[in-house]
Structure 1
Amino acid sequence: MKRRVAILISGRGSNMVALVEAAKAVDFPAEIVAVISNRADAPGLQRASEAGVPTIVIESKPFGKDRAGFEAVLQRALDEKQVDLICLGGFMRLFTAEFVQRWHGRMLNIHPSLLPSFPGLDPHGQALRAGVKLSGATVHFVIPETDAGPIVMQGAVTVADDDTAETLAARVITIEHRIYPEALRLLASGKLKLEGDLCKVAGSADRDATLISPRTI
């Protein structure tokens, strides 16, 4: 039986689209049963509707700092849709520790850096200021601390000397669209195992894979 997934968004939902497209495959082990936004004007809502995915709006602004109140309404929506797993796709709302714990091991997020490097805002700018030669994206489980949960999957791109935050972001997002559906596939298939702060993947054996930048040899 396919796992039932809700995608939470606040904006354009580009990763949402990647997940929805991947889930159309007959052999994909999850189905997207709802796209939920905390903003009624999120462009991703229309994209979800066009893809035939039910959408729900739960405006967070009226709740102000009452995160628990917002989460109570959100949880009712998740229960009504019988959601098994949550994927955050640019969802700009912090959760309480209680809500995160309730969904422990069942809620994924994606961040555009190679965590634990450059968490939080402006990860591409952080990467460029640090002078790294590789950057990328990370899918991780959600814990109360921001961008700090067990890492499920990462993908890397090279960083050019003339990169800007915009040009780097454009390459990283293509990686995001590749690894997020695959991470959801692994979770929905039961191939992920949490051991404390670490995530282990059944059948993973990429010991010989390497990526060097700049390539001079």
Structure 2
Amino acid sequence: MILISGSGSNMAAIVRTAQQEDWARRHGARVAAVLSNKADAAGLAFARAEGIATEALSHKAFDSREAFDTALAQAIDRYQPSLVVLAGFMRILTPGFVARYAGRLINIHPSLLPAFTGLNTHQRAIDAGCKVAGVTVHQVTDELDVGPILDQAAVPVLPGDTAETLAARVQAQEHVIYPRAVRAFITALA
């Protein structure tokens, strides 16, 4: 199960890698569904075109974060996933939700954690004078962006970089390490 909020580029990288490497045959694993909190998320169209079940569940339809997370968990549980992958899912999850999927909930964050948790990571790395930046795949805990690190990739911060140019180089590495981390996780389950 993959959760997205937008274009789903990391989700697409995982789906393509799963197809190219035939995870279904080799690991008994497949992307069961893609769920978004935004009905117009472009990634849903990609998933549908690949024959993957999709759902949209707007967080705006709920009175509280807890109510949304309860409905989200019910939607996820219909697919009985071994792993829940956050791929640009732009919602902070409640401790109860995180506990429900403890040990099988992973996320990708555009910095070399533990540096620059939260938002605006690329500009913050540039402003801090970092020589390298990067991306981290980690297990999700109830504390934002501090779970056990599963994989990382570094990219140089170049003279004249903007947040956008740095983000583009980091995203290229995201598309490499996220499928690799998911593969390692499902291989460990087998």
Task: Give the TM-score range, shorter chain.
Answer: over 0.9
Matches within 5 A, 1:34-183: 34-64=33-63, 66-183=64-181
1:8 aligns to what?
A: 3
CA distance in 1, matches of 2:53, 2:127: 41
1:199 aligns to what?
A: none
* TM-score normalized with structure 2 length: 0.93
Q: Secondary structure at the match of 2:188?
A: coil
Q: Deviations over 1:134-179 (max 9, x none)?
A: 1110000001111111110000111111111111011000100000
Runs of 4+ with >4 A deviation: none
How far residue 116 of structure 1 moved from its aligned partner, in angstroms, is 0.6
Look up the equivalent residue of 1:117 and give its one-letter code: A
CA RMSD of aligned residues (A): 1.2
CA distance in 1, matches of 2:125, 2:32: 35
CA distance in 2, matches of 1:74, 1:112: 24
Q: Secondary structure at the match of 2:170?
A: helix
Q: Secondary structure at the match of 1:182?
A: helix
Give the gaps of 5 or more residues in structure 1: 1-5, 192-217
2:22 aligns to what?
A: 26
Look up the equivalent residue of 2:180 and give its one-letter code: E
Query: Which deviates more, 127-136 or 68-77?
Result: 68-77
CA distance in 2, matches of 1:156, 1:53: 32
CA distance in 2, matches of 1:79, 1:87: 13
Q: Secondary structure at the match of 1:31?
A: coil
Determine which structure has more spread, i.e. the larger CA radius of gyration.
Answer: 1
CA distance in 1, matches of 2:13, 2:178: 8
Q: Deviations over 1:62-117 (max 9, x none)?
A: 114x1221122222222211111100011111111111011111011000110111
* 1:17 and 2:12 correspond: yes
Give the gaps of 5 or more residues in structure 2: none
Equivalenced residue count is 185
Query: Which deviates more, 25-34 or 144-153?
Result: 25-34
Structure with bigger helix share is: 2
Q: Secondary structure at the match of 2:117?
A: coil
* TM-score normalized with structure 1 length: 0.82
CA distance in 2, matches of 1:47, 1:125: 30
How far residue 51 of structure 1 moved from its aligned partner, in angstroms, is 1.7
CA distance in 2, matches of 1:129, 1:50: 40
